Amino acid sequence: MAYDRQILQILSDVGELGIGVQHLAKHVYNMNCTFFFQPDLQEIRNYVRKYLLRNSKSAQSLIERTGRRGYYRLNKNNADARQLMLEFRNTRIQEVAEDKEEKPQADFSLSLFD
């Protein structure tokens, strides 16, 4: 589902400190809100909570708990998690490079002497 990829992207963004379940759910909710569609926040919270519990059970899981209660982060000891962090980092670098490309700006100013 699309929520899975978004959860992993957010966990990659927050880094080693991790993020709380409620904050993570709000980020996912905001990523899916549009002008014409607003998902149910409670449904997304339940999905995020279940996803985190399901994917943080063992020491080699993709997601791990931090020292704080209710906070999660990507597991640095897992090869898949390291690969995800590299993929998300590369996509962000490409997006920044595309934004920095100079685009010629048209001159829309009005002339006083025409």
Above 70 in pLDDT, residue 1?
Answer: no
Pair of tokens at residue 61:
């899981």
Residue in 80, 46, 50 with CA at minimum distance from that of residue 62: 80
The pLDDT of 2-28, averaged and rounded, is: 88
Of the chain, the end-to-end C-alpha distance in Å amounts to: 59
Examine the pLDDT at 5 and tell me if it is beyond 80: yes
Q: Beta strands of 2-113 (E only): which ranges?
A: 19-20, 63-65, 71-74
pTM higher than 0.85? no
Who wins on pLDDT, 60 or 32?
32
